[in-house]
Amino acid sequence: MRYGLISGENLERLEALENPYVVEIVERFVDLCEPSRVLVVTDDPEMIAYIRRMAIEKGEEMRLKMEGHTVHFDGYYDQGRDRASTAVLMPGGRKLSYGINTVDRDEGLREVLGLLKGSMRGKDLIVRFFCLGPTNSRFSIGALQLTDSYYVAHSEDLLYRSGYEQFKRLKGSKDFFTFIHSAGELDERGCSKNTDKRRIYIDLQEGKVYSVNTQYAGNSVGLKKLALRLAIYKANREDWLAEHMLIMGVRPEGKNRVTYFTGAYPSYCGKTSTAMIPGQTIVGDDLAYLRMDEEGRARAVNVESGIFGVIADVNPIDDPLIYKALTTPRELIFSNVLVADGVPYWLGMGKDDIPKRGINHSGEWWEGKRDAEGQLIPFAHPNARYTMRLKELDNVDPMLDDPEGVVVRGILYGGRDSDTNVPILEAFDWEHGVYIGATIESETTAATLDKVGVKAFNPMSNLDFMVVPLGTYITNHIRFGRRLKLCPKVYATNYFLKHEGRYTNEKVDKKIWLIWAEGRIHDEYEAIKTPVGYIPMYEDLKALFKQIFHRDYSEADYTIQFSIRVDKLLEKCARMEAIYKNEEGMPMEFWEVHSRIKKGLQTLREETGKPTVPPSYFS
């Protein structure tokens, strides 16, 4: 080890772990990345506060007018998860499933290690220890993070549980994940310069993730979606589930109970806003581990303890709890918003008086500014974010850090869908629920670096993070549910249905769909059986709209929303067949459900002769 760079208290902190694997990794990457200094950080609150101060002193964050608030800017071309540059390292040129990028492991390691060589010259290497999931729990997974970005390290302090003491509990084991990140060479604004050489490579064989020439947190904060990839690989070998899911407690008015749901939605499709529905409590908005307990129930924990949320369209009407948190003093990082006179502004925040000048992800900004390609630059990026601790929220669930997790009674799946699915639908059974998750489609958004508005296939909202064959992944979901004695009910949701070019519901209406689903779990509502699942009865929704929003809900609106769009659903069946027909190892249960739904829709089309069938037909 280059003991000239790591000595004194830093060396003592590292050696106190009594873990030769940790020491070996730190030694290797100190030698490779050539930092000027190495800082080993424990769970000590003073050290964690120091990380935030350094993020500001180094210029990676800037203080804002409100106490505790800072802002970080990523480079103009570093504003989302980079799918094209993210790949799984596979031995011997082996491939994974549809849509999953792979690179030959030997070639990929040579490339990324070459890019990391000398990447930290003139910078500090920060050695961090975190815990994925609650500490001292059967869900706990240790995470070792090496980064040269104080912004990344600060973000992780807001998003994850400190894990230095958790690493001591490993007693020298190498059963932990490792994340190596370097922002690489920086430009005059302190942003990653060589984004054409941006690489995010996942090495399943060694449980490591390499990330270089990027600062955007979705690419650089290894414990987020990068760790999810490693966890999916681990879970699918150990018979549990690692999922891209919210966890929330649903608490219907006037009833003394809480029912816990998980839910998977692609980015910018309503996942965080679902977890933040007023009157409910949030355990997590993004990542979940699910295991079966001794009584045969599914239990879930939040992998994280904070939120890295899309800020666009967060306003006091639709998202009052988040908006309050964003506009009151607390430790919080904004990224890629507009800043004018120390105040942040973002798209869709509900203000008309947006400044005409300020600072944003493009540098100095003014209304009408264009980029090098001649495109108008909005005052804030559509994928601008906020990062803060969950405990800062008024509606945080008391079970957030419970090492046993919460009992899951319902699972929600949804995407951005303007023309096909109804707002809420209950699966016939667990296998049908897995099918619903496996056939999620969503119109793409600014949360990735792809074209916007394309209908993308995204099973369980996890395709970007898939590191096992889809057949294996779906089979393990089916087996997981079959082992349970108390199996969760599964629901398909769609907040984005349009009719004649306009949304058919208001944003807040998702609360109605959720309360109905919770009531179904407790056998409080009847439902209408259709070829694709159970839908609500009009009278039940009418009563819920009146009770919750004091609003009339017309039967005409119900008919528009809950009509079965037969032709559109059959088109989706055809797309799913095209995707899955060549997928090896697909469980027969998937095809049985698919055939049953397709046949039911074809029969309905023959019976009615109509492309769309109203719910009254099934009553």
Tell me the CA distances in angstroms from 531 to 421, 595, 605, one per residue in order: 12, 11, 11
Structure tokens at 379: 């005052």
Sign of CA dihedral 603, 606, 607, 610: positive
| Amino acid identity, position 588 | M
Long-range contacts of 365-371 (CB under 8 A, 24+ apart): 365/338, 371/76
Mapped onto helix, strand or coil, the DSSP state of residue 42 is: coil
Cα gap 49→152, rounded to integer Å:
14
* Apex 571 CA angle, 497 and 565, nearest 5: 40
Please say whether the beta carbons of 463 and 100 come within 8 A: yes
Cα gap 156→150, rounded to integer Å:
10
Cα gap 262→300, rounded to integer Å:
8
* Apex 283 CA angle, 282 and 289, nearest 5: 145
Task: Say how many Å lie between the first and final Cα of the chain, rounded.
Answer: 74
269 is catalytic: yes
Mapped onto helix, strand or coil, the DSSP state of residue 143 is: strand
Q: Which residues of 547-565 are buried (b: 16+ CB within 10 A; e: fewer)?
A: ebeeeebeeebbebbbbbb
The catalytic residue among 33, 131, 191, 269 is 269
What residues contact residue 237 under an 8 Å CB cut-off, 6+ apart? none
Q: What is the 3-state secondary structure (H, E, C) of 432-483?
A: HHHHHHHCCEEECCCCECCCCCCEEECHHHCHHHCCCCHHHHHHHHHHHHHH
* Phi and psi torsions of 247, nearest 5°: -135, 130
Rg (CA), the chain: 24
For residue 183, how far is the Cα from the chain centroid?
22
Question: Tokens 């039911």 appear where?
Answer: 600
Count of other CB atoms within 10 angstroms of residue 13? 19
Hey, which residues does 472 pair with through a beta bridge?
A: none
Please say whether the beta carbons of 436 and 492 come within 8 A: yes
- Catalytically active residues are 269
